[in-house]
Structure formats: C-alpha cells, structure tokens
Amino acid sequence: MMMSENHDSVKSSVTMQLVGLGGAGSNAIAHLHSCGALSSVSKIALDTDKKALDALDVPTKHCMGASLLRGLSSGGSVELGQKALEADDDAVRALLGSSDFTCLLVGLGGGTGGGAGPAVAKMLAENGSLLIAFAILPFSFEGAKRQKEAQESLALLEHHCDAVISLPNSILLQQMEESVSATEAFAAANLWFERAIISLHTLLYFPGLVNADFSHLQALFSASSGKTLFALGRGAGDHCLEQALQDLMLCPLRHIPDALERAGSLLVSVVASPDLDMNAINELIASVANTFSSKDQTVVNLYLDDSLSSSIDVCVIGVTSPVKTSGAPRMTSSVSSAINRAEPPSEEEDFSQKKKKRKGLLSSIARSQEEFDFVEESLDARGYFEKTDKNLFEGEDLDVPTYLRKGIKVNLR
Amino acid sequence: MMSTSKIVGAVEIGTAKITVLVGEVLEGQSLNIIGLGEAPSQGVQKGVVVDFKVASKLVHDALARAEKAAGASIDAVYISQSGSHLNGFFHTSTVNVSSSTGTVYDSDVERAVKEAKAKELPDDRVYLHHIHNGYTLDGRPVVEPVGMQGEKLSLSYWSIHGDIQQVRDNIHVINAFGLTVEEAIVSSLASGLMVTTDAEREHGVLVIDFGAGTTDYVLYQGGFVRASGSIPVGGDHITNDLSLGLRISQKQAESLKIEFGKARLESADEEEKVWLIGDKMIGDRHLPKAALVKIIEARAQELVGIIFQQLKRVYEPKSIPAGIIMTGGASLLPSLGNLVESTFHQEVKMGITPSWVREDLASPAYSTALGLLHFALTGQAMQVPRSSGRSRLWGRVAKIFN
C-alpha cells in the first residue's frame, strides 16, 4: 500500500518503533525497512548471529552476547538465547530507549527469539511503551519440543505485552499452494507483518474521516485482558468490498483456536479509496463489527487515501473479554456510540466538508445495522466442543479438526 | 387366566434427536408398536448428557408425546447407552469338570459363569453387559455342554462396562419423569440387532452406526457379539471442522455439509466453487468445494481408520462374509461407503429395517429404538445362557441406582 504525499502533517506526535529479535524477527525488520510507507519509523534488529545480521539492511542492529557466543547463533537453545541477552542487558536497554508504541517481531520455538523474547518484552514494558508482539509459531512438523517451548515463550510474552498476535507457520503454510517452500512461507509471514504494521501505522499517523488514534489503541488494550484478535482484509477492483470481507474472514492471523471468538472491545481501521460508495463502506464496517464484536464497544477509524482507486484495506484489532458473553451481540447501539466517541479530525482544512460526509455516514451506519443480520453463533476455541472434556485418542484430541492435526493443506481461495 | 400385557418404552437420548417408542408386549410373546414421540436433542454431546436440565426437559416432552400417541402409560423403560466411556473386553474362563464320570452338570456351568464375570472393575465403572460368546468343551465349541462328557469347560464373554456417573445420568433423566429403567442397553447392540439378520450374524457381519455425536460399531461372528465399541466422533465433528476450517458458523457449516458434503475428493470437485449463503450479497462468499471436501475427507478417513484399528484384534475381511452394514444419520454422507470399503476391503451396504416394522419407522434413525423394543420382548441379542440370570446382572446395576 502506498501512502499519498499530502499527509505529512501527522495527527499525533506519538513515537513508534519496530524491534526484531532473533533470525526470523530481524529478517522481518529488514523486510519492513524495505517498505516505503514505514521509512520514517525507527527499527532495531537484535540477534546473536553476526553473519546473519550483517547481511540485513536495517538502520540499527545489534549483535547480542558476542562475548558469549562469539557472534554465532544460539543454535536453537532457549537458554543460550536468554544468556546472550543477559550478557548484553545494558546495551540492549539503551538501544531500545523509550517509545510510545512498539511492535516486537519474534520467532518462537527455541533460540534467540524464544529465549530472549520475554525479557526484551519486559524491558520494553518497563519503558512504558504500548507493546504489541507479533510472534511466528513453529511448524507442527518441527516437533513437540519446539511447540512446547514456543507455547511457554508465548505465555511469557503475553504476560509482558499489551497484545500478542501469533502467526503459526503451519496455518500459514496451509493457505498456500501444495509445493511451497519454507522460505516462501517465511516471506509470506513477512508480508502479513507488513500489512499489519502498515495498518497500525496508518491508524496512528494519518487523520481519518472517522478518527481513532493512539489513545483508542491504548484504551482498547487496557480495557480487558483477554486474547488478542487481529485480522486483515484487502480488496481491489470492481468487487473490492466483497473481496475485502472474504479476505478478512480467511486471514491467517485470525487463526484457530481463536478463529471465531468475539472481541469485547474492537477497533476497526479502514483505509479506502475516495471513489468508493460510502454506504457500501458503512455496510462493510457494520458487517465486520457484527462478525467480530460481542458488545457495544467498537471504535472505527476510516481514512480515505486519495492516491488509491477502487481499493480498500480493513484491519480489525480486538481483545476478547475474559468472561464469555453468550447470545447474539447487540450491535445496534455499538457502532454509532463508538463513532460518537471518536474525535473529529479537527486539524483538517476541509473539515466542514468532511463533517458533512461524516454525518451522512453515521446515519447510514445506523440504518445498515438493521439490514445486516448474518450473526454467527458464539463459538470458542475448540468450537462446538469447547465445553466438553478433551477427546483423547492416542495422545490426540479428536475434537480438534483432523485436517489441522494432520497438517492437510486446505486452500480457501 | 387373563392375558397379561406390559407397556414398555424404548428411549434413545441421541446427540441429534431423542426418540421414544412405546410397545405393548403381549404375554411376553408378541409386540405391538403403539406410540412414537420425538424431540430434537439439546444438552447432549458426543453421546453423553452434558446439560442435565435441558436434556431432561426434551426427553420428558418426547415421553409425554409418545404416551399420548399410544394412549397408554409406560410401565418400564429400556434405554440406550452410548459414548466414549463405554469399553469392552473379551474374557474366557476355564473350569475342570468336577464329576468323576466326566459328565458336565449345571454346577460346572455355574462355576464357569461366576468366574468369567468375576473380574472386578474400578469403583467408578459398572458392567452393562456380559455377552455370551459360546462354550467350548476340551477345545470343541459346543452349544449346550450340560450332559456332555469332557474335562475342561470354557466359557467366553464380551463384557461391556461404562462410567457409573454417565450411565446414572441417563437413568436419572427417566426417573425424573416418574418411570423406572428396566435396562440400559448399549446402542450398537440395539441397532445392530435391527439391521442384521440371524443368518448374517451367524456368518459374520460388522455394523457401523454413524451418529451425530458418536460412531458405534458391533461385530458379530457365529451368532455372537465378538466386539463392540463407541468412538466419540460423529457428524457433529464434521460440522465443527467445517465451521472452524472455513471460518463460518455452525449453522452454515451444517447446511453446507448436507448440501455439498462428501467423504472423498474427486477431480471434478477441484475447480468447483460453492456459495456460502447463496444470496450472493455482501457477506456471502464462495468457497472452493475442494476445501470443504478435503476437510470432511480427513475426518471421515480418520474415523474409519480408528474403527479399523480398534477391530484389528478380531477383524479380517474373510471373518465377516456378510459384509459391512452402515446405519445412522451420518452414514448418509455420500461416498462414505466407498471409504469404508477401501479401508476394510469388504462390501458395504446400507442397513435395512426388517419387514415387520411399520413403514414410517423404517428409517435408520429408528433402528436403535426398535432394537430396544426387540430387547424388551426377547433379550435375544444378549445371548444369555440360560443359567445366568439377566435380572441378577441388572440387579447389580439397579442396586447402585436406587
């Protein structure tokens, strides 16, 4: 996605940084650095493997624990990953500095990422940064040990971070063609991170027609402490809205087991081309809120990007409520009340014009809610069988879909 | 003397549906089916009651409806039992014939029976059936050993036991309606009896009942139940897999399953798309049919594979010349039969209810309840040797529940 040039006047002075840890994390940072839209965001890559770091084009990089590992990798050891960070604690802390908002990118399942990840997250949290971690989880064929280590690291990360968005490689792989290589899967993971982070960046720095900002993001994550929901959808061309909605439903970031849970609080961020029909966009937002939210707490950010045509990007960020609510969500009050709370883009020049547009938007959202009625049933992690005992047969839970346990690829497109 | 008749209720608390049949047993010799009551099931998952209140209410509705239809009050209930808590084992006991002449007496048989049933279960388990599997006298199979000559008398049982709490839950549902449970019978034995003939059971036949919450099977050989089991995976799992895998609601998944579901992917499915809702409006999506079928195929293959593995001990294709009979709601999934055939290397056919059954009850959906009524009349499938009182066996269970 390209940002148009005439929005240099950012809507906030919030500082944002991207931190990549370990091989996978640093690699993702290098990829993000190559994205024009994020050129002004500060980026740091941390790894123990000097050779791998040297090969990356990242503005700030640091080889951790060189005295201990002599610039070699941690060889998949959680312990060495931890020790490398401990040996370099002060240097890393100084490097991380203080930033309002940090995205930490890390690969879990042993090694530098899994070992040092939780401690780096702790440092960042102590610096007072709003912290979202993006974690790549190992392939299921990488074995039970790595899976277990990844789950342990993930639990620790969740403890320190405001939100953790995980992307299991096996789910990613499942969405791809039969013959895809592991490298291609990593590249695909990087593309998902790119879209996710650009969406967050847009939310923070570009004033929307319906506006949400850093405070909304903060409020979202401080309100409840459940699981993080995150999904992206994109559409282009004549049927871009339908396409974006379908894309959103299939997003691998919205993976099982959280796939069909509803968020207690939800933020929907939309970047659309100005040529799209406002009513259609409203319908889309109402439908997204209907699908993802469980209560009347949906904040909307809608940004019209003049450089685009016939295209739309949707980003959904939510947090599930720790206590589950049953029954159909009460959407009627939700979107409108949330939009009322959102501040108008006061520094915009053509404010009055946009305000008019916005007013029309509000009434049509209220209308479209009644029309939208494809409410999904409330579902939990193991779906229909969530509340029943595990169905164990030779160590496998038979209630979990077979195709997932067996790693059978299912192409949903 | 006046003719005696008894009104019995057959109750199947299924995962998808509750079925009550009312039968009138005349002189203990003939049976008239006089009432039917049904209700969609709720509060039951994987064959087990998970929400007692909800399930009870629906069972009571079905009971009331059945009694009303029959115009009579039920005297006693036969109830089917399913779920993963059911387990079975094969056990043989051998005794020395005690008389000096080598003639087998009743007392020898009784000792063998007692020993065969002596295996203690853990505190939380209860025997549901000891299914007679024949006598041998000095290694020769015999039908009636008493009066014959020999040294060693052996007797085998296929014994089925279940979790006390879960058996009790089902019985309590009936008790709460003010009725007593005469007997709890394992579902596969009830439906198996209905969809097979005496000849098929004699030659060897496997019955697989694909239900919504469980898949139950029973293997007959030489007229005896050689093995039975219940796998807590059924049609609901297919629906759930589709719901999670395709990111759609349970309802949407259920209707996609019914409309487009099949157990095997064919090349023609590869390019085909199906619409999720069908109105092609915003929110509707088209999905590749291959994705849908692959998800179902994975589940069906695994399920059939598990049954095959469970039967490994006794199964070979030539051991069931009468083939495989499928029944139950989920058996209607297209090409499931093919999949079973290629796993078991035996012919598969759909179960047919015997001709004496009223036309409106001929669907496989009623085979378990009909089987229960059949039990009420005969107790036949138990293959109980005359010396082992069924009442005594049940007496033990009854004691626990009263």
Domain spans, chain A: 16-202, 208-371, 384-413
B165: chain A residues, CB-CB within 8 Å:
none
**B52 belongs to a structural domain:** no
Domain-ending residue, one of B272, B297, B322: B297
Would you say residue B120 lies in a domain?
yes
CB pairs under 8 A between A and B: 106
Question: Per residue in B105-130, pLDDT tens?
Answer: 999 999 999 998 888 889 899 998 88
Q: Does the pTM of the predicted model rise above 0.95?
A: no
**pLDDT tier, A293 (very low <50, low <70, confident <90, very high otherwise):** confident
Interface probe, candidates A331, A374, A390, chain B, greatest B C-beta count within 10 A: A374
> pLDDT category, A105, cuts 50, 70, 90?
very high
Predicted ipTM > 0.95: no
- Containing structural domain, residue B149: 87-162
CATH code (residue B288): 3.90.640.10
CA distance A193 to chain B (A): 21
Number of domains in chain B: 2
Q: CA of A195: how far to CAs of A300, B52, B67, B247, B267, in Å?
A: 18, 48, 63, 21, 35
Would you state the CATH architecture of domain A16-202?
A: 3-Layer(aba) Sandwich (3.40)
| Per-residue pLDDT at A3 | 45
CA distance A197 to A202: 9
> Measured between CB atoms, which of B48, B291, B306 is closest to A412?
B291
pLDDT in tens, B10-53: 999 998 899 999 999 887 778 888 999 999 998 898 888 888 99
Q: How far is A172 from chain B (nearest CA, A)?
A: 13
Chain B positions with Cβ closer than 8 Å to A: 45-46, 48, 50, 84, 231-233, 236-237, 239-241, 243-252, 277, 282-285, 287-288, 290-291, 294-295, 298-299, 301-302, 306
Query: For residue B324, what are the contacts with CB-CB under 8 A and spacing of at least 6?
Result: B205, B206, B207, B208, B340, B341, B344, B346, B347, B348, B349
Domain CATH for B135:
3.30.1490.110
Q: How far is A410 from chain B (nearest CA, A)?
A: 5
Whether B116 is in a domain gets the answer yes
Structure-block tokens of residue B348 = 């598969």
Q: Do B282 and A287 make contact, defined as CB atoms within 8 angstroms?
A: yes
**Residue A377 CB neighbours (<10 A):** 15
Q: What is the pLDDT of residue A370?
A: 32
Candidates 2.40.37.10, 2.160.10.10, 3.30.1330.20, 3.40.50.10470; CATH matching A208-371: 3.30.1330.20
Percent of chain B exceeding pLDDT 90 equals: 53
Give the chain B residue whose CA is nearest to the CA of A248. B247
Q: So what's the pLDDT on residue A342?
A: 37
Which residue in B15, B247, B251, B287 has the most chain A C-beta atoms within 10 A of its own C-beta, making it the best mutation to test that interface?
A: B247
Closest CA to B44 of B10, B79, B18: B18
Cβ(A211)–Cβ(A343) below 8 Å: yes
What is chain A's alpha carbon radius of gyration, rounded to the nearest angstrom?
A: 21
Average pLDDT of the residues in A35-45: 86
Taking CA–CA distances from B279, the nearest residue in chain A reads A374
Question: What's the confidence (pLDDT) of residue A241?
Answer: 86
Please list every residue in chain B whose beta carbon sits closer than 8 Å to the beta carbon of residue A369.
Answer: none
Burial of B308 (0-12, 13-18, 19+ CB in 10 A): middle
A232 vs B contacts (CB less than 8 Å)? none
Would B359 be classed as within a structural domain?
no
Is residue B269 included in any domain, yes or no? yes
| B333 burial type by CB count under 10 A (0-12 exposed, 13-18 middle, 19+ buried) | buried
Residue A264: exposure state from Cβ atoms within 10 A (0-12, 13-18, ≥19)? buried
Has residue B97 been placed in a domain? yes
